[in-house]
Structure 1
Amino acid sequence: MAILAILALLFGAVFAVCCLLLAAFIGSLLYMVVLHHRLKDAGLRREERLLSTPLPADADLPHVVVQIPSFNEGPVVRRGAESAAALDWPRDKLHIQLLDDSTDETAEMVRQVAADLRAKGFDVVALQRTDRSGYKGGALHEAMQKTPYDFFAIFDVDYIPPTDFLRVCMRPFFAEPRTAFVQARFDFLNPHENALTEMQMVTLDAHLGIEQATRCWAGHPLPFNGTCGIWQRAAIDAGGGWKGDTVTEDLDLTYRGWVKGWRALFLTTVGVPGELPADTKTWLRQQQRWQDGFRHVSMRMFPEILKSRDITPSAKLAALLHLCMALNQPVLLVGVASGILAGLLAPSLVPLLLTLFVVTVAWVLVCATTFLRAGHNFIRGGEIPPLEFAVVLVRFVGGQIATVVRSFGVHFKKMFSKPKPVVFDRTPKRGN
């Protein structure tokens, strides 16, 4: 009996630690909201100043390579390529690379789109690989070696940049030449298509409007969002280039460049619309890929950040806190399992365990609600009334539970199967 009591206390202690860690991780979102309000005015003024930087005459503008990765995307590739061709930039300095790894009829579509645009006088090339080695990161790396130019605008195939995107987003590079990349804000083509897309809109607005904007304003590490941004070659090279050994090549390169001293800019006032997954299965697969990639990068970059002598302690803390968010699900799963075991071994602990659980859940809900509403107010001006927003929050909670359940199933299967190589599970696009 003594051994069972000791085990119950140990599991209870693990449960308590997990609750505290989750409270700290989610509490960081509330801190970001506070920091956002404190830095917003100065941050927006700086953005306005950078975007008012004069551009050189057209003859002196740099060459820009627009890269559009695709994999079995179907007809949507034409819209993406044509939106790139419509960008307002000197024709002789605009170069478009269609990075296509397709294994279906999309491959022929890409070749036809490239031929059609070339016939209209655009510099468009279809770079098609016979294998997907390195996935998106591998495609970006190989394409970069095929051009001598220094600026790369990257768009997932479903995003439609406004025609003045380059005229606006290239300006900060002339004001601050050590900028690694300029990241524009996602906007959405189908935010109100159904309950799922509306929930995603609210979630991503909070991520972009609160997390990304505030990190930029505070000088914290700013992750690249994988699309709707412009990188310069020197920063990519300094970070070691694009790599395909993680499914979040954008976050990986961001941190590798950041530890080398490169900083980035997030633009809250420039939106680029793209397509949100409209079915639950596709969305859950996307979330799993992001979670897996986040953990890959976290494990890789923790030692690099800790041993760096060029990063201030406060910046290290901000980076580590950000990367620790990758531990949310593992901590939650360990906590739930430990709490159940502690309650089974010592029923007398159940009231205490339940109290701690309820307090943690309440804290998480308060932080998440404040975070999501703040992002919605900042980006959308509070267009969803409070009562309707409460329904969106319920959907958000349901979505988080679904991702945890799916993640648990994925990792449970991995425990009883042979290790498999990293696979980039690309989110399919419909072209809406």
Structure 2
Amino acid sequence: MQSGHAGSADLPVEIAGVVDQLTVGDLIYALHRARFVGAGADEVLLASGALSADALAQAASRHLGVAFAPLAGEAPTSAMPRPAHADLAALLRTGVMRRTDGKLVVAARGQKLRGLATRLAATPLAATWPDLHSSILLTTPERLSAYVRRRFGGILAEHAALWLRRTQPRASAGTLGASRFIFAALALLLALIPVVLNEAPGPLAVALAAIVSLVLLGWTILRLGACLAPSIEASRAPLRDDRLLPTYSLIVALYQEARIVPQLVAALEAIDYPREKLQVLLVIEADDPATAAALARHARHPCFEVITAPDIGPRTKPKALNVALPFARGAYVGIYDAEDIPDPDQLRRACAVFRSRAGREIGCVQARLAIDNVDDGWITRQFAAEYAGHFDVLLPMLGTCRLPFPLGGTSNHFRREALDAAGGWDPYNVTEDADLGIRLARHGWRAAVIASTTDEEAPRHWRAWLRQRTRWYKGWMQTLLVHGRHPLALMRDAGPGSGAAFFLLVGGGVAAAMIHPFFLFTVSWNLMVGRPAPLETAAIAVEGIGLAVFLVGYSGAILCTALGMRRRRIAGLWRVLPLMPVYWLMMSLAAWRAVLQLVCAPQLWEKTDHGLARTSRRRLRKVRLVRPTNSGADRRRPRTADA
């Protein structure tokens, strides 16, 4: 300890009670940093590790003349009232809870604590309520959250798993019944179309070929249009003024991810955002002690909070995200996967878009996803090329044109009010990202793409790839069925252009994957048997339509992939193009496997293992390390990150 501090009356109320526990250096740093980032001095001390949340709250309670509420050791009983979920959400949002004895428990830090002190000191209020100080208890936001999870976890979990299905059944994949079987039957008919067109051409066959070609060509034209459009996006310079940055919550759902936890924590700690305004919620399952132990060892910073998802409803990532959402205190909510390594300034770039004039109607900002382990094998290289075409070419064009698109499963940054308006995630949809993208559009929000990258790990082995891709196709099918139940309602909510773009993008991709092998079989069979050229007008029309779809489809895919690889600076196009037909056949297998699961196991979540990559593009990049000094002139030479 060190003497010579200013009097406590001259200090912000949030640290006046701990002045005797601080050195002069800690005190000066806390005051300067608080002004610089626009936060409370107690939040600065907590983020820097100088004092714990309990120490700060206990000192503040003594300074204000109120009691401290540990909120510990109170187990739930059957006699306790059952509050509504909305009341619990309001409790967590405001940080104010009324106990059964009438006393108020307030979880406050920073500006909230200053506001509480002002109210306690207000002369009229103190005069009319002499027992005011004895009626208020102070606690920490962490203790209040833990208390709510312990006492009302069942209510929150039930809401997370079942609310959308109960209140908006038409918006949930959990209510898909006979439509799943109808979809499977239509998929089988779709598979027969190339054979029927080949063997029995006629006016009806021409009409059928035209309908199918419109869907497939529309899907391809979107890609060709993206290739021809200029590279324009919603990106702005990162927001550098820390005082303007809002509170930000990140949610990461983990299951059996102990291997990747050290990398995850390092990636999150590398994010350039004031720790005083950052909250990271890590959601785990109760039967995953290995991941819990790994988080206990590595996620030590006060901004990390670990939440255990109760075993209620389907065990899916969207349910885990819903479980964490009520505890998110940020104005914006970001989603990451366990293996993600985002660009450090990604949150600042998202904030810049949200705060722009056009950002008022943006409900979600999607960062670009890229494959880090490109050189692990031919599958990862194909995956990287596919991602490059999707996230670096197609999605930026859709965002610029104000069209909805299926969000990536990670690096989504949401405006909290938009996320609440859409109802959160659908726990029964195994591609919750695609579903939420169109639901946001139906609620009047649009999405944008920013020029910030998150590196991901792709499966190295084809079995792992097949399981992951099967889940994706199954989720896209679920999304089609959910929003295709009432097409007119979709067009009314999202607009005709947005509705058509959704069906072409999602429906065209699914249809192309399912029909592709049968089309190839028909063409190959005709070449093998030496079938003569058709003479009938209908047969000529059918073959002309098929040839146009083939040429335009392959050209669009190749151009989109090549342009994406160029923008992503992935070398080896000559190694990707020859294997694209094989990769597309693998996608067809995954699509048909998804049809089977849609009927037999619609909520099955086939998890992808992470932490198995052998190579990394990010580790090979040159980075410049700067040693902090007063002048900033002492800089190290560039070196590789793993040097």
* Fold shared, TM-score > 0.5 on shorter chain: yes
1:177 is aligned to 360
**Alpha-carbon contact 1:22-1:331 (below 8 Å) kept:** no
Structure 1 vs Structure 2: percent identity of aligned residues?
Answer: 20
Structure 2 length-normalised TM: 0.56
Gap change, CA 1:194 and 1:334, over 3 Å in 2: closer
CA drift at 1:158: 0.4
2:384 is aligned to 201
2:117 is aligned to none
Q: Highest CA radius of gyration, 1 or 2?
A: 2
Match of 1:163 among 324, 329, 344: 344
1:3 is aligned to none
Note if 1:210 corresponds to 2:393.
yes
Letter in 2 for 1:149: G
Match of 2:447 among 247, 252, 264: 264
Letter in 2 for 1:252: D
Gap change, CA 1:61 and 1:112, over 3 Å in 2: same
Note if 1:370 corresponds to 2:559.
yes
Q: Match of 2:455, SS?
A: strand
1:244 is aligned to 427
| Offset from partner CA, 1:315-342 (integer Å, 9 cap, x none) | 33222212322333444578789x79x9
Gap change, CA 1:10 and 1:137, over 3 Å in 2: same
Letter in 2 for 1:123: C
CA drift at 1:22: 5.4
1:31 is aligned to 221
**Alpha-carbon contact 2:239-2:349 (below 8 Å) kept:** no
- Pairs within 5 Å for 1:75-114: 75-101=259-285, 103-113=287-297
Q: CA RMSD in A?
A: 3.3
Letter in 2 for 1:164: D
Give structure 2 stretches of 5+ with no counterpart.
1-194, 614-643
Give structure 1 stretches of 5+ with no counterpart.
1-6
Q: Match of 1:152, SS?
A: strand
2:323 is aligned to 142
Letter in 2 for 1:36: A
1:4 is aligned to none
Moved more, 231-240 or 143-152: 143-152
Q: Match of 1:367, SS?
A: helix
**Alpha-carbon contact 2:404-2:502 (below 8 Å) kept:** yes
Gap change, CA 1:404 and 1:36, over 3 Å in 2: closer
1:108 and 1:313 map into 2 onto residues whose CA distance is 47
2:439 and 2:582 map into 1 onto residues whose CA distance is 35
CA drift at 1:365: 2.3
CA drift at 1:242: 1.2
**Alpha-carbon contact 1:72-1:104 (below 8 Å) kept:** yes
Letter in 2 for 1:281: R
1:64 is aligned to 248
Moved more, 143-152 or 291-300: 143-152
| Offset from partner CA, 1:103-139 (integer Å, 9 cap, x none) | 44533334424xx433xx4321111224373411101
| Offset from partner CA, 1:237-285 (integer Å, 9 cap, x none) | 1112111111001111111111111011101x21111111111111111
| Offset from partner CA, 1:300-359 (integer Å, 9 cap, x none) | 11245522435443333222212322333444578789x79x99xxx9998658956666
Gap change, CA 1:235 and 1:431, over 3 Å in 2: farther
Count how many residue pairs are aligned between Structure 1 and Structure 2: 402
| Offset from partner CA, 1:25-81 (integer Å, 9 cap, x none) | 44335423443355425x24x53xxx13755x4344211111111111232022112
1:21 and 1:355 map into 2 onto residues whose CA distance is 14
2:353 and 2:244 map into 1 onto residues whose CA distance is 16
- Pairs within 5 Å for 1:337-348: none
Match of 1:292 among 466, 474, 480: 474
Note if 1:188 corresponds to 2:371.
yes
Gap change, CA 1:161 and 1:406, over 3 Å in 2: closer
**Alpha-carbon contact 2:279-2:328 (below 8 Å) kept:** no
2:292 and 2:196 map into 1 onto residues whose CA distance is 62
2:498 and 2:312 map into 1 onto residues whose CA distance is 36
CA drift at 1:364: 3.0
1:102 and 1:203 map into 2 onto residues whose CA distance is 35
Q: Match of 1:75, SS?
A: helix
Q: Which structure has more RCO (C-alpha within 8 Å, separation ≥ 6)?
A: 1
Gap change, CA 1:312 and 1:123, over 3 Å in 2: closer
Q: Match of 2:414, SS?
A: strand
